[in-house]
Amino acid sequence: MAQDSVDLSCDYQFWMQKLSVWDQASTLETQQDTCLHLAQFQEFLRKMYEALKEMDSNTVIERFPTIGQLLAKACWNPFILAYDESQKILIWCLCCLINKEPQNSGQSKLNSWIQGVLSHILSALRFDKEVALFTQGLGYAPIDYYPGLLKNVTKRVNGNISRVASLSRVCVPLITLTDVDPLVEALLICHGREPQEILQPEFFEAVNEAILLKKISLPMSAVVCLWLRHLPSLEKAMLHLFEKLISSERNCLRRIECFMKDSLLPQAACHPAIFRVVDEMFRCALLETDGALEIIATIQVFTQCFVEALEKESKQQLRFALKTYFPYTSPSLGMVLLQDPQDIPRGHWLQTLKHISELLREAVEDQTHGSRGGPFESWFLFIHFGGWAEMVAEQLLMSAAEPPTALLWLLAFYYGPRDGRQQRAQTMVQVKAVLGHLLAMSRSSSLSAQDLQTVAGQGTDTDLRAPAQQLIRHLLLNFLLWAPGGHTIAWDVITLMAHTAEITHEIIGFLDQTLYRWNRLGIESPRSEKLARELLKELRTQV
């Protein structure tokens, strides 16, 4: 407590000085400086109030003899009064100063003075006497006509946006006041004649902050304008999303989808410039985390929401060419990937996957067009489309026939983009072997966890790198979910598999994603679904 009060005293001095400099915030500099400090000052006021409310009026004056001055200066700064809840907190602080039973004239005067300040805060602007008489004569009090007046002022300013820079500054404290929304929108959308930006950065920041905290509701076009005109705001929005995803429950795609749509980023990304920035940030995150599965899942959810938004917006055809979104891709590959599996008959999925594989392989192994960005770009593109990417293993297992090379290649590529040709070929062989065994096992009447483990262990004596291990794991999990007897050994197998916390998380992620995908694509298999849910539930309690 003592430390707090020392901090408060320091802050007090700081703010007292600031307020003196700002005065009534009538110059450009004072306005800018005030805007920069609005949030912090409000925090200070809150702390002040917490301290003051514990004391009685006399103690307050003893402790902070100049408090009256501080509060008065704040009250005469219209920016502070207009900001968020500052006016409310100021009033609370003033109320703490009121003496219930004034003992002397000094205290009475203080009470009187406080009343004056409260009046100043609450009562109407001193309009011309004529106007005041008129409204009174009609029987209206300020509270009756203030909303209307504000609306007219807003309309008026809106229809006549000239001093844009100063207007944007003035709007900074007002951003969460809903009456002013049309003005904020107009400012964001208006195109000045200058090539350089005329709106103040603190305006953009304030609007962005309000959007992220859901304190303002603007049409999508305004949000897009904001992010196009002020890159830091877009970046902040992305970071905000990442933070939310980290802090919330891991591995729940449904929740991620909610957050994603809520963030407005997929909708905004219909504008290619925004898409590119967002995609770039995803790319960086992916590289930094060395391909973390959670990031991949997030990218997939983003892409799905993005495609939905794109479809809603453009109905028949894209407003922008595909190349503007995916510059490193051949248009044919892009078009195929953009197709929603839902829109294609189930029987054709295999074929589509083969086609995708061919196109990707061509892009990856094509030596002459190095400028395409190399294998990583192709892989990065592919992982966007979870509908297809996550389907490969399942499709391989479903087909009783000889596993198509194209799909084997695709699967190996998906899990090991950095592999060289030989490495990949080896992986493909291993996978083929595993598939063979699994097929055999699925025909036998009884399954054992041990057998499955052996199958998985095929080739583990040679150093099976983590990606390949992951691949095999996922194949096995798929098998467990689909094979008729899978549920009997499922838990045992998983227990054997999940010998680290990381792998457990991976399995949880896999199950969650599978259920999510099945739900989206309308794949109905009650038994598999039930099994997956049970496993998921059980595993979640363990971490």
Among candidate residues 362, 393, 385, 279, the one with its CA nearest the CA of residue 325: 279
Nearest residue (CB) to another protein, 100 versus 421: 100
74 exposure class (CB count in 10 Å sphere: 0-12, 13-18, 19+):
buried
Among 45, 60, 167, 211, binds another protein (CB under 8 A): 167
Size of the site for another protein (CB under 8 A): 72
- Residue 141 is a binding residue for another protein (CB under 8 A): yes
Do 185 and 232 form a contact (C-beta atoms < 8 A)? no
Nearest approach, Cβ of residue 104 and another protein (Å): 12
Nearest approach, Cβ of residue 81 and another protein (Å): 4
Identify residues 39-98 at the interface with another protein (CB under 8 A). Answer: 49, 53, 78-79, 81-82, 85, 87-88, 91-92, 95, 98
> Which residue type sits at 437?
H
Nearest residue (CB) to another protein, 74 versus 307: 74
Q: Which residue stretches of 98-192 are H helix?
A: 105-122, 129-138, 142-158, 164-171, 181-189
Identify residues 172-191 at the interface with another protein (CB under 8 A). Answer: 173-174, 177, 179-180, 183
d(CA 203, CA 183): 12
d(CA 270, CA 249): 28
The CA-CA-CA angle for residues 159, 161, 166, to 5°, reads: 145
Longest dimension (CA), the chain: 100
d(CA 199, CA 426): 58
Among 148, 219, 420, 484, binds another protein (CB under 8 A): 148
Question: Which of the ranges 137-145, 360-368, 427-435, 471-479 carries the binding residues for another protein, by CB under 8 A?
Answer: 137-145
Nearest approach, Cβ of residue 125 and another protein (Å): 6
Nearest residue (CB) to another protein, 97 versus 507: 97
Nearest residue (CB) to another protein, 26 versus 495: 26
Nearest residue (CB) to another protein, 146 versus 376: 146
96 exposure class (CB count in 10 Å sphere: 0-12, 13-18, 19+):
buried
> Which residue type sits at 428?
M
Nearest residue (CB) to another protein, 153 versus 213: 153
The CA-CA-CA angle for residues 303, 307, 309, to 5°, reads: 115
Among 47, 63, 68, 142, binds another protein (CB under 8 A): 142
Nearest approach, Cβ of residue 117 and another protein (Å): 11
Do 400 and 442 form a contact (C-beta atoms < 8 A)? no
Among 6, 122, 466, 543, binds another protein (CB under 8 A): 122
- Residue 152 is a binding residue for another protein (CB under 8 A): yes
Nearest residue (CB) to another protein, 55 versus 220: 55
At which residue do the structure tokens 């399995």 appear? 507
Question: Which of the ranges 109-117, 192-200, 412-420, 464-472 carries the binding residues for another protein, by CB under 8 A?
Answer: 109-117
Question: Which of the ranges 144-152, 283-291, 434-442, 454-462 carries the binding residues for another protein, by CB under 8 A?
Answer: 144-152
Among candidate residues 350, 409, 414, the one with its CA nearest the CA of residue 382: 414
Question: Which of the ranges 166-174, 341-349, 428-436, 440-448 carries the binding residues for another protein, by CB under 8 A?
Answer: 166-174
Give the number of other CB atoms < 10 A from CB of residue 52: 21
Nearest approach, Cβ of residue 218 and another protein (Å): 18
What's the start-to-end Cα distance of the chain, in Å?
38
Nearest approach, Cβ of residue 207 and another protein (Å): 16
Nearest residue (CB) to another protein, 177 versus 199: 177
- Residue 129 is a binding residue for another protein (CB under 8 A): yes
Among 153, 258, 292, 501, binds another protein (CB under 8 A): 153
d(CA 184, CA 390): 43
Q: Which residue stretches of 159-219 are H helix?
A: 164-171, 181-189, 201-212
Nearest residue (CB) to another protein, 172 versus 464: 172
- Residue 146 is a binding residue for another protein (CB under 8 A): yes
Torsion of CA 274, 275, 281, 287, to 10 degrees: -160
Nearest approach, Cβ of residue 156 and another protein (Å): 5
Identify residues 475-494 at the interface with another protein (CB under 8 A). Answer: none
Q: Give the CB-side neighbour count of residue 381, counting CA atoms within 13 A.
A: 29
Nearest residue (CB) to another protein, 8 versus 81: 81
Distances (CA, A) of 187 to 147, 171, 219: 21, 10, 13
Nearest approach, Cβ of residue 279 and another protein (Å): 39
Nearest residue (CB) to another protein, 24 versus 525: 24
Site string for another protein, 417-456 (x = CB under 8 A): ----------------------------------------
Among 109, 163, 346, 530, binds another protein (CB under 8 A): 163
Nearest residue (CB) to another protein, 144 versus 280: 144
Q: Which residue stretches of 53-128 are H helix?
A: 57-63, 67-75, 78-82, 86-97, 105-122
Nearest approach, Cβ of residue 40 and another protein (Å): 19
Please report which helix (H) or strand (E) contains residue 356, including its range. helix 349-365
Nearest approach, Cβ of residue 71 and another protein (Å): 14
Among 16, 36, 55, 149, binds another protein (CB under 8 A): 149
Phi and psi (nearest 5°) for 270? -60, -20
Do 259 and 245 form a contact (C-beta atoms < 8 A)? yes
d(CA 170, CA 351): 60
- Residue 147 is a binding residue for another protein (CB under 8 A): yes
